A and B are shown apart, each in its own frame.
Chain A
Amino acid sequence: AQTVTQSQPEMSVQEAETVTLSCTYDTSESNYYLFWYKQPPSRQMILVIRQEAYKQQNATENRFSVNFQKAAKSFSLKISDSQLGDTAMYFCAFMKFNAGNMLTFGGGTRLMVKP
């Protein structure tokens, strides 16, 4: 079974600064996908970014980028130029390749962006 660990229950950052959220996972699979989801106070789960394990290049989506270290089983999320609207819970998630699209979530990190 896969496990996903987010070791930072809460973090805060000043507006316009950069913050990095950590995620580690444990799996014996070689092919898989990793995701970061954002859950703002509205509760809606929003996909932020995804990474295919077979790709060496780190994924980037505007101000969001990841640092994917496959050997270390680490998948951190970097948010640049933080905005007040980035305040939310962030969940790291793991999906096995070709296994019914099932997601295993980490416990989440609550991010507060301060003005």
Chain B
Amino acid sequence: DAGVIQSPRHEVTEMGQEVTLRCKPISGHNSLFWYRQTMMRGLELLIYFNNNVPIDDSGMPEDRFSAKMPNASFSTLKIQPSEPRDSAVYFCASSLRLAGVNEQFFGPGTRLTVL
């Protein structure tokens, strides 16, 4: 398996522009997570989906952030309009939700820079 795939790996944009980050989870996994990592706040869970349904979006910072999972193999995180304080590394992770220990597998991350 190719693991969790994220694109793009790097994104540089200007303040006010729309940014879309993409994630393909591991085939067969039914849970998907979006995290944001910054020096100041560490790793924060933004939102997670189970069976394509958003379960907890309490970590989404503002209405400028939205996430979708139209099918089991694809998810997007959109920021509109983007601001310099959104600069961070965004990780997507997936897992197979079963009884017992359910490891999360992380993608390589997208480094976002908003100028």
Contact = CB atoms under 8 A, between A and B. Distances in A.
A-B interaction:
yes
Interface of A: 33, 35, 42-47, 50, 52, 91, 95, 98, 100-108
Interface residues of B, number: 23
Contact of B103 (A50, A91, A100, A102): A50
B115 to A, nearest CB: 21
A98 B43 CA distance: 21
Interface of B: 31, 33, 42-43, 45, 48, 50, 55-56, 89, 91, 93, 95, 97, 99, 101-104, 106, 108-109, 111
A50 B48 contact: no
Contacts of B101: 33, 50, 52
A105 B48 contact: no
Contact of A45 (B42, B91, B111): B91
